[in-house]
Amino acid sequence: MFMSKAKQLLRSALLLALTVLLCQCASKQSTAKPRLLEGNEFEAFASAYSSWDNRRSGTKPQELSDEQLEALADLFSQHREYDSSLLNYLKLLQDQPENYYLMYKIGVIFLLKGQLDAAQRILARVLVHQPEMLEAHEALGLAHLLSKQNLKAINEFRLVLSYDAQRPQAHYFLGLAYLAGGEPHKAIAEFETVSRQDPDHLANLTVLGQAYNQVQKFHQAITWLEKGKQLSPKDAKLNRQLGIALAGLKRYQEALQAFLVAGDEAQAYNNIGVYYFMDGQYEQAAKCFQLAVELSPTFYDKAKANLERALKKLNENKPESG
């Protein structure tokens, strides 16, 4: 259960990382050197979106300047209107086929849409002509990471750091790659570097706590997670990791309070019940699982199964009468 939650947290961190790249797209101007698209590249990109209705935007793109059209596309992307954003970027690319920063933005949009093969192809093309574009290396690294090509992702992030060793974002992405690859000690080193440079990076503090939880250094996990809690007391992902750390130290009541912040009551009682069960406290575990079932009888089939396991253990451990 908790491994599944850890994977969910890692995926959330990756999605947040993509949002960071998206914000970069909107804030930078292109300085890329032009190159014409070859063959039917533009048509291939545009064909998947040919049915998009221009009326969705409420604008007439042909009446906008290139600068205004790009700003509109950036605005759509920031509001997760990815198809609208992509259509406008593609229109611009048709007029500016050698604008590699614009092509990078298109790659990021494909990445955000989960079209990883397309994102990898476009970003790789950008880097052929603009190898020094660090944000494109980072985006390509994230595409590799989401495709579970961890080694390729690590190599991209390391390449970025070879250009700029102090780049916090690249250290953060590299830490995510190490964490996804089952190397929490290496991840910790990267996340702690980020924390020294950007101490209020909430997502970094959360995954740093997660990494310490994975190596069972619960005191260190709590130290970092408490710092994050000062920034965002109700953050669900952070409180879930805090609950895991506290439960790892058998501070079960405090852990329960953290789990209650992280999710609904049924989930919280089921979570803490698992720890009581692993600790051999079957009666307490059964009470927690029973509460979880009562709080959400239709939702928590897992709690029912856990309750049955706990009751079975209780019966096995009862002294024989007479």
Which position has the token pair 């090509």?
A: 149
CATH label of the domain that carries residue 18: 1.25.40.10
- Give the pair of three-digit tokens for residue 276: 């009581």
3-state secondary structure 225-242: HHHHHHHCCCCHHHHHHH
Residue 76: inside a domain: yes
- pLDDT score of 322: 43
Alpha helices in 232-281 (DSSP H): 236-248, 252-262, 265-278
> pTM of this prediction?
0.80
- Is 79 inside any structural domain? yes
Q: Which residues of 225-264 are buried (b: 16+ CB within 10 A; e: fewer)?
A: bebbbeeeeebebbbbbbbbbbbbeebbeebbbbbbbbbe
- Give percent above pLDDT 70 in the chain: 79
pLDDT tens, position by position, 6-38: 555 566 666 666 666 655 665 554 333 333 334
Collect the ranges in the chain with pLDDT lower than 50. Answer: 3, 29-61, 321-322
Residue 185 φ/ψ, nearest 5 degrees:
-65, -45
In a domain, 280, yes or no: no
Return the CA Rg of the chain.
24
3-state class of 166 per DSSP? coil
Position 158 in a domain: no
Residue 273 lies in a domain: no
Does residue 112 fall inside a structural domain?
Answer: yes
Per-residue pLDDT tens for 48-78?
Answer: 333 334 434 444 445 788 899 899 988 998 8
In a domain, residue 169? The reply is no
For residue 68, give its domain range. 11-147
Overall number of domains in the chain: 1
Whether 228 maps to a domain, the answer reads no
The confidence score (pLDDT) of residue 83 equals: 94
Do 190 and 174 contact (CB within 8 A), yes or no?
Answer: yes
